[in-house]
Homo-oligomer: A and B are copies of this chain.
Amino acid sequence: MAKKRYTIKDVARMAGVSVSTVSLVINKKGPVSEETRRKVLHAVHKLDYHPRRVAQGLASQKTGNIGFILTDDHFSLVEPFYTKIFLGTEVEARKYGYYIILTTVPNQFSKEHIPRFLLERNVDGVIMAGRVPEKLIAYIRDMGLPVTLVDYYNRRQKTAAILIDNIEGAYQAVTHLIELGHKKIGFVGGDLSHPSISDRLTGFKKAMEEHGLPIVPEWVITTERNTSVPSGYQAMNTLLKSGELPTAIFACNDAMAIGCLRRLKESGIRVPDQIALIGFDDIDAALQMEPRLSTIHVYKERMGALAMQQMASMLENGEQSTEKVLVPVELVIRESTARKAD
């Protein structure tokens, strides 16, 4: 039943040329006469020949695979944020003829967690999304493999990266609130050591300052350890206990915004009537909320695709790029933000 698969030899025989000539034609290298090219391609077609990846790999010392690394918590998250980035990469990879091998590593990374595809030299390059262990980045760079980071950037490692325009996004979100007439605006964030979060805070401050609005320290919550729904809930809790409330809140991501929303509902505070709320990321859940969440849309699939493009060009040039691509975002106005009631 299993059909016989032809090899390059069969093609060569059929076309009446040598094996190496067939290889040249297939890989579009070296000069080949129009005549032989035709003959070869005809034979290829006739036999439905496809070179075996594994053989190409051994001979050319390229596997044709790209590793895609996420940390455990990023992938197991309810929100398919990084999953979408992955998908974008996967689809783009196909265009280039690469395979993507996905793996996750624990946040508490140590030597024995080194992905097998690195040990076995089974990838030509690595794309990593989200905050990823420092050591791992260094290890891969050390192997001489090109690296692209997505949605993360570390000042010390000189790698290529695809980044959300966090400052601009936050700026837009806060400006939106200001244009709705809000003057008392709070920031809900966490873990400022993460570059994305601190950038979003920067954007917040920039918008406030440019419009001559005061930044009230009690309304800037940055004590939460992470940026999950429960953290948002907690942060809102803190805010509620601190006397006067702001009239609008910019949460550093949708997950935290959802946490805030939940806490506000429990206190019977109406969104957006009493407090306007805007998030960041535009995860799927933002659309499920009541009210539906205004947010900053992030083009996740696009980011994944861009990472693959960057990787492909590094693979072509054979050198590690340090280019940082800033991907624009888009303000999405839904129901959780409204003109300030007076």
Which of A's residues lie within 8 Å of B, judged by CB? Answer: 1-3, 5, 50-55, 57-58, 63, 75-76, 78, 80, 83, 87, 90-91, 94, 97, 99-104, 116-117, 119-122, 141-144, 284-285, 288-290
| CB-CB under 8 A for A142 and B80, given A54-B57, A58-B54, A63-B54 | no
Q: How far is the CB of A78 from chain B (nearest CB, A)?
A: 5
* Contact present for A121 and B5 (CB under 8 Å): yes
Which residues does chain B contribute within 8 Å of A144, judged by CB atoms? Answer: 1-3
Which residues does chain B contribute within 8 Å of A104, judged by CB atoms? Answer: 90-91
* Contact present for A143 and B3 (CB under 8 Å): yes
Which residues does chain B contribute within 8 Å of A76, judged by CB atoms? Answer: 87
Which residues does chain B contribute within 8 Å of A52, judged by CB atoms? Answer: 58, 120-122
Q: Which of B58, B75, B290 contacts A87 (CB 8 A)?
A: B75
Which residues does chain B contribute within 8 Å of A121, judged by CB atoms? Answer: 5, 50, 52-54
| CB-CB under 8 A for A100 and B99, given A50-B120, A122-B54 | no
* Contact present for B102 and A284 (CB under 8 Å): no
Which residues does chain B contribute within 8 Å of A119, judged by CB atoms? Answer: 50
Which residues does chain B contribute within 8 Å of A51, judged by CB atoms? Answer: 120
Find the B residue at minimum CB distance from A50. Answer: B119
Bound CA–CA A116/B102 (angstroms): 17
Bound CA–CA A102/B58 (angstroms): 22
Q: How far is the CB of A132 from chain B (nearest CB, A)?
A: 18
| CB-CB under 8 A for A101 and B103, given A5-B121, A80-B80 | no
Which residues does chain B contribute within 8 Å of A63, judged by CB atoms? Answer: 53-54
* Contact present for B3 and A142 (CB under 8 Å): yes
Q: Which of B50, B80, B99, B142 contacts A101 (CB 8 A)?
A: B99
Which residues does chain B contribute within 8 Å of A116, judged by CB atoms? Answer: 94, 97, 99
Find the B residue at minimum CB distance from A99. Answer: B101
Bound CA–CA A90/B1 (angstroms): 30
Which residues does chain B contribute within 8 Å of A117, judged by CB atoms? Answer: 53, 99
Bound CA–CA A63/B54 (angstroms): 7
Q: How far is the CB of A2 from chain B (nearest CB, A)?
A: 3
Find the B residue at minimum CB distance from A145. Answer: B2
Can you spell out 8 A-B residue pairs with CB atoms less than 8 angstroms apart?
Answer: A2-B142, A5-B121, A51-B120, A54-B121, A75-B87, A97-B116, A99-B101, A100-B102
| CB-CB under 8 A for A122 and B53, given A83-B80, A100-B101, A103-B94 | yes
